[in-house]
Chains A and B, each alone.
Chain A
Amino acid sequence: MSRRPYIRPVSTTGWWLSEGLYFRYMMRELSSLFIGAFAITLIVGFYRLSQGGIEFEAFTAALLGPVGTVFAIITLVFALYHSYTWFQVTPKAMPIVLAGKRVPGFIIVAAHWVGFAVVTVVVWLLAVAR
């Protein structure tokens, strides 16, 4: 008898395109590409700032130009998706038990969004009110 088990052919590079769940998983993982690129862009900006005014103005001109703006918008979408997915798993990553009862997951997620709003407002005010 032949013993050659059937192995379903699966693409090792494009498997995540076959199903919505896999695609959302990959978008979550790929958010790190845009988040990392944004962080390195800011680090380059600080390096330019440390070099002097002319270097920094050239950097901000590119940042505010069409390419920089498109990159920033894509990056913001991925960053918000990262925040959403990160907060969404917090009830599983750190379940909270109060008085012997498990705190419902949606409350933990909502608390993180409240924290997100507070951080956003405080950092904004810190940067704008100088």
Chain B
Amino acid sequence: MARSHKPIVWGLFAAGGTVAAFFLPVLMLLSGLGITFGLLPGDFLAYENVYALLQHPLVRLITFGVLLLTVWHAAHRLRITMHDFGIRADTFVAVVFYSIAAASTVVLALALIRI
């Protein structure tokens, strides 16, 4: 049988969709809206506080896993959605979105290593 990269991107899409469904709303509250809604203190996102929070290995793991999978989920779904908008240049679209996802993954990894 011919080998294809499809199962890999589809696996990332499904895993990312699941992780995003469970984790993103609470991450949105923690990264700004919680302060806007008055649920969190105004200095919650102060440099020292976020820096200290990211020293926790579990926080780093959740952050890395959720954001990595979410970016690949979004890239794959947007690729398919471009087809729904009548854009048929799938190879070009795939290269653009997967490149953005790959670049985001690298930046995220570098940032977390440096923090």
Contact = CB atoms under 8 A, between A and B. Distances in A.
A36 interface: yes
Interface in A93-130: 112, 115-116, 119-120, 123-124, 126-128, 130
Contact of A76 (B28, B46, B56, B71): B28
A21 to B, nearest CB: 14
Contact of B85 (A13, A69, A116): A13
Interface size class of A (residues with CB under 8 A): 35 or more
A28 to B, nearest CB: 9
Contact of B35 (A36, A64, A127): A64
Which secondary structure characterizes the binding site on chain B? helix
A35 B30 contact: no
A119 B31 contact: no
A102 B93 CA distance: 40
A103 to B, nearest CB: 18
Given A39-B67, A39-B70, A50-B115, A56 B50 contact: yes
B105 to A, nearest CB: 9
A91 interface: no
Given A38-B70, A40-B71, A63-B32, 13 more contacts: A13-B85, A29-B81, A36-B75, A38-B24, A39-B104, A45-B31, A46-B63, A68-B32, A76-B28, A76-B33, A82-B17, A82-B24, A123-B23
Can you list the 6 inter-chain pairs with the closest CB atoms, starting with the nearest? A36-B74, A12-B86, A32-B77, A50-B114, A46-B111, A86-B21
